[in-house]
Amino acid sequence: MKDFHYQALPLDVHFGNGKSAEAKDILIKHGYYNVLIITTPGQKEAGQKLSQQLQEISAGVYPHAVMHVPVEVADKAVEFARSNDIDCCLALGGGSTIGLAKAIALKTHLPIVTIPTTYSGSEMTTIYGITENNLKTTGKDIHILPKVVIYDPELNLTLPAQISACSGMNAMAHAVEALYAEDKNPIVSLMAIESIKALKFALPMIVDDLSDISARQKATYGAWLAGVCLGSVGMAIHHKICHTLGGTYNLSHAQAHAITLAYSVHYNRNADIEAMDRLAEALGVSSREEVGLAVYRLNQSLKIPMALKDTGLPKEGPANVAQIVCDSPYYNPRDYDYEELKDLLNKAYQGLPPA
């Protein structure tokens, strides 16, 4: 076994169906008495319900979170938090909502509590992203790591089928890339395999029956583990491709992850043999040659739109993305090959299988 470094992040995690009903007690235990609830406009009502439940410790709902945290939205939220004597931001929602809470914490060092309602995993990381002039800047800061995370799978019951499927595959991508990360380690790899298995098992059941609470619970568990993977080790080529698709072409974050994961793992299938053999086993296929196809078929079973051309990517997109990815690469266990990447992205553009 090679030497490794593993650092656990300090997080207080509560998990269970209906667990969000305990939010008030948990917040008081942590010493938070003036809590601002952050949501997207679409989840404002859920925020108001939570606000009523928190009674006197609620400072109200701030329903202005939007995708990719535009700097103007972040600045207004910081101003609002500062002028209302808030002592904690509670993000109720997905990665966009948690992203706005992180932007507030970055400037104010206010503590964050999250009640995640998608499978993005942002609640488990010190990573933030802020968008200015169409450019998303990301960074890491320990001050923005949530202090408390309350997972309540019942809150995911309202997440529509397509967002559930794409968000779940976004989570799987965190776990997959953790397996061959530059700083991979045995503990995180264990969590990654467990996460991949849980998501592979649960997501088709959710798409089949959105109200299947035990499948929701399993997917939330898988997404939590995937979030720990993302928060613990570095990512590779797949995340570089998705950050380019999102940053340059404004594609939906979760959908870009879901569609391209099959091609990224196919590209890397012989790059880290031990990792890819474990991935094949977790995906239920007999050889690492089949990992790309296995992810592709899983996407098909989840009814995820399969072609990048249907998501707003222009025709020149595959070649441009391949070029950007090769020009400013993240770590990857194998070299970047422009022609091979362009071919794979062209397949993703058409929605064709990776092999």
The reply on whether position 120 binds ligand NAD by CB under 6 A is yes
Name beta bridge partners: 62.
Answer: 38
Minimum separation from the CB atom of position 176 to ligand NAD (A): 14
For residue 269 the two structure tokens come to 């299938």
What residue type is assigned to position 117 of the chain? Answer: T
Q: Which is nearer to ligand NAD, 225 or 276 (CB)?
A: 225
Tell me the C-alpha to C-alpha distance, in Å, between residue 219 and each of 74, 122, 149, 150: 30, 15, 16, 15
Q: How many residues bind ligand NAD (CB under 6 A)?
A: 30
Tell me the C-alpha to C-alpha distance, in Å, between residue 27 and each of 14, 112, 115, 148: 12, 10, 12, 9
Taking alpha carbons only, the member of 125, 127, 126 closest to residue 142 is 126
The reply on whether position 255 binds ligand NAD by CB under 6 A is no
For ligand NAD, which stretch binds (CB under 6 A), given 12-20, 26-34, 38-46, 341-349?
A: 38-46
Q: What is the DSSP string of 109-137?
A: ---EEEEE-SS--GGG--EEEEEETTEEE
The reply on whether position 117 binds ligand NAD by CB under 6 A is yes
Gap between the Cα atoms of 11 and 43, Å rounded: 25
The reply on whether position 158 binds ligand NAD by CB under 6 A is yes
The reply on whether position 156 binds ligand NAD by CB under 6 A is yes
In whole angstroms, what separates CA 153 from the centre of its chain? 16
Minimum separation from the CB atom of position 281 to ligand NAD (A): 26
Helices and strands (DSSP H and E) totals, the chain:
13, 8
Of the residues 20, 51, 114, 118, which one makes contact with ligand NAD according to CB under 6 A: 118
Name beta bridge partners: 131.
Answer: 70, 136
Give residues 40-79 in contact with ligand NAD (rule: CB under 6 A): 40, 42-43, 67-68
Give residues 217-236 in contact with ligand NAD (rule: CB under 6 A): 230
Minimum separation from the CB atom of position 146 to ligand NAD (A): 11
Minimum separation from the CB atom of position 53 to ligand NAD (A): 16
DSSP 286: S
For ligand NAD, which stretch binds (CB under 6 A), given 11-19, 30-38, 151-159, 181-189?
A: 151-159
Minimum separation from the CB atom of position 248 to ligand NAD (A): 14
The reply on whether position 93 binds ligand NAD by CB under 6 A is yes
The reply on whether position 155 binds ligand NAD by CB under 6 A is yes
Minimum separation from the CB atom of position 256 to ligand NAD (A): 10
The reply on whether position 127 binds ligand NAD by CB under 6 A is yes
Gap between the Cα atoms of 341 and 15, Å rounded: 40
For ligand NAD, which stretch binds (CB under 6 A), given 153-161, 188-196, 271-279, 316-324?
A: 153-161
Interface residues with ligand NAD (CB under 6 A)?
A: 40, 42-43, 67-68, 93-97, 99, 117-118, 120-122, 125, 127-129, 155-156, 158-159, 163, 167, 170, 230, 253-254
